[in-house]
Amino acid sequence: MEENILSPDQEKQVEIAARLFALYDLYWMNHWQASGISFFGDHDFFKEAYELTQGQLDSFMERFAFADNTNTNVFLSYVMNKKTYFEYYFMLQNGDVWSSLLDSEIALNVFIDDLILNAKDKLSQGSINLLADISDKRESLIYKIKRRMFKDRVANRKAHKVSVEYSFFPIVYSESKDPKKYKAYVQFQGIPVHVEFMAGEKRRGHDMLYSYGEIPNTEGFDGDCLDVYLGNNLDSLIVVVIHQNNPDTGEYDEDKVMLGFDSVEEALKAYGNQYSSKEGFFGGYTEVSTSTFWRWVTEGRYNKKQMGSR
Whole-Å CA distances, 112 to 18, 270, 296: 12, 32, 15
Same domain, 119 and 180: no
The pLDDT score that the predictor gives to residue 2 is: 45
Same domain, 144 and 245: no
Lowest mean pLDDT among 47-61, 168-182, 218-232: 168-182
Same domain, 112 and 225: no
* Selected residue with higher pLDDT from 28 and 173: 28
Predicted structure pTM score? 0.55
First to last CA, the chain: 39
DSSP letter assigned to residue 207: E
Residue 300 lies in a domain: yes
Distance CA 272, CA 250 (A): 17
The pLDDT score that the predictor gives to residue 174 is: 75
The mean predicted confidence, pLDDT, of the chain is: 81
Residue 69 pLDDT > 60, yes or no?
yes
Q: What is the DSSP string of 218-252?
A: ---TTSSPEEEEE-S-TT--EEEEEEEE-TTT-SE
CATH number at residue 113: 1.20.1260.10
* Selected residue with higher pLDDT from 25 and 180: 25
End position of a domain, from candidates 105, 126, 159? 159
For residue 90, the enclosing domain spans 8-159
Closest CA to 193 of 166, 207, 172, 222: 172
End position of a domain, from candidates 97, 132, 159? 159
Same domain, 259 and 120: no
Count CA atoms within 13 Å of residue 286 on its CB side.
Answer: 21
DSSP letter assigned to residue 202: E
3-class DSSP assignment, residue 279:
coil
**Sign of the CA dihedral 97, 103, 104, 109?**
positive
Same domain, 34 and 90: yes
Same domain, 12 and 149: yes
> Chain centroid to CA 169: how far?
14
The pLDDT score that the predictor gives to residue 250 is: 86
Closest CA to 280 of 246, 255, 237: 246
Residue 1 lies in a domain: no
Residue 135 pLDDT > 60, yes or no?
yes
Residue 166 lies in a domain: no
Same domain, 141 and 184: no
Element (H or E) spanning 11, and its range?
helix 8-33
Residue 147 pLDDT > 70, yes or no?
yes
Q: Which residues are within 8 A (CB) of 30 and not within 5 positions of it... i.e. 6 or more apart?
A: 42, 46, 97
Into how many domains does the chain fold?
2
Same domain, 155 and 233: no
Residue 15 lies in a domain: yes
Same domain, 45 and 153: yes
* Selected residue with higher pLDDT from 113 and 229: 229
Same domain, 105 and 234: no
Whole-Å CA distances, 121 to 5, 69, 134: 21, 16, 19
Distance CA 182, CA 201 (A): 13
Residue 184 lies in a domain: yes
Count CA atoms within 13 Å of residue 166 on its CB side.
Answer: 7
End position of a domain, from candidates 133, 159, 185? 159
Residue 167 lies in a domain: no
Same domain, 149 and 13: yes
What's the pLDDT band for 172 if we cut at 50, 70, 90?
A: low
Residue 168 lies in a domain: no
- Percentage of the residues of the chain whose pLDDT score is greater than 90: 28
Same domain, 115 and 190: no
Q: What is the DSSP string of 282-306?
A: EEEEEEEEHHHHHHHHHTT---HHH
Residue 153 lies in a domain: yes
